[in-house]
């Protein structure tokens, strides 16, 4: 069984992934970390040296490689569902969960974490709110294709586990 966690940067995918994994006895793998391991480069470096298009190609390739695992929770990147047919593909391979969060909460959580995220680099807090609001408006149509939606703020893992069980029935 495979679970894909999706949502914008800062929505808590990695933390939720670890918690779910420990409750379910699954392994949890972060797609960005896997890409860094496989390429020997940081995500920022890939964007800088090779550009976003190449990053998206790598992201698709390693997503598909990772999905050969079983009993695994894959924490994807914020853009993963929005390129190629990745969202449809994830929906066909496992259970997808969208961690939904408001732009204000996202910005609050992202303020100190822009340096490792090339798309947000060099943005002031004011620019960040506008950018995240617009990006979410573009991306949410993909995110909302997920099988399960959960509020990312104060995420209740027990409730989420119930929803996963219901979806699998
Ligand atoms: C991106 C999100 C990042 C990472 C890359 C691009 C995006 O992942 O994949 O910097 O386009 O939203 P996180 O959501 O894990 O920060």
**Cα 96 to ligand 1 centroid, rounded to whole Å:** 17
Ligand 1 test: best mutation among 4, 6, 9, most atoms within 8 Å of CB? Answer: 9
- Report the pLDDT value the prediction gives residue 114, as an integer from 0 to 100: 85
| 99 φ, ψ (degrees, to nearest 5) | -90, 105
Q: Which residue is it, tokens 């090779």?
A: 50
**Which residues contact ligand 1 via a Cβ below 6 A?**
9, 32, 43, 77-79, 117-119
Write the Ramachandran bin of 159: left for phi over 0, alpha for psi from -120 to 50, otherwise beta: alpha
Pairing of strands 95-100, 148-151: parallel
Q: Which domains does the chain have, with CATH numbers?
A: 2-168 (3.40.50.300)
* Neighbour-count burial for 40-79, b at 16+ CB within 10 Å, e otherwise: ebebeebbeeeeeeebbebbbebbeebbeeeebbbbbbbb
- Report the pLDDT value the prediction gives residue 115, as an integer from 0 to 100: 84
Q: Which is the closest atom of ligand 1 to the Cα of 30?
A: 15
Residue nearest to atom 4 of ligand 1 (CA): 77
From the first residue on, what is the mean pLDDT of each consecutive set of 10 residues in the chain (169 residues)? Answer: 97 96 98 98 97 98 96 98 98 98 95 89 91 97 98 95 92
**Cα 117 to ligand 1 centroid, rounded to whole Å:** 6
| 156 φ, ψ (degrees, to nearest 5) | -100, 105
Q: Which is the closest atom of ligand 1 to the Cα of 44?
A: 10
Residue nearest to atom 10 of ligand 1 (CA): 117
Task: Tell me how far apart the alpha carbons of residues 76 and 17 are, in angstroms, rounded to a whole number.
Answer: 10
Chain-centroid distance, C-alpha 92: 17
Task: Tell me how far apart the alpha carbons of residues 114 and 107 are, in angstroms, rounded to a whole number.
Answer: 10
């Amino acid at each position: 069984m495979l679970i894909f966690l999706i949502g914008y940067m800062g929505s808590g995918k990695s933390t939720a992934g670890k918690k779910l994994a420990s409750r379910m006895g699954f392994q949890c793998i972060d797609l960005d970390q896997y890409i860094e391991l496989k390429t020997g480069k940081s995500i920022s470096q890939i964007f800088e040296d090779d550009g976003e298009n190449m990053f998206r190609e790598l992201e698709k390739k390693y997503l598909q490689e990772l999905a050969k695992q079983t009993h695994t929770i894959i924490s994807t990147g914020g853009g993963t569902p929005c390129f190629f047919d990745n969202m449809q593909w994830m929906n066909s391979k496992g259970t997808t969960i969208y961690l939904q969060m408001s732009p204000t909460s996202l910005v609050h959580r992202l303020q100190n974490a822009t340096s490792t995220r090339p798309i947000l680099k060099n943005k002031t807090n004011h620019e960040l709110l506008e950018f995240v609001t617009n990006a979410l408006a573009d991306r949410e149509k993909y995110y909302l294709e997920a099988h399960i939606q959960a509020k990312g703020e104060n995420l209740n893992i027990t409730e989420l586990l119930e929803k996963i069980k219901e979806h699998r029935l």
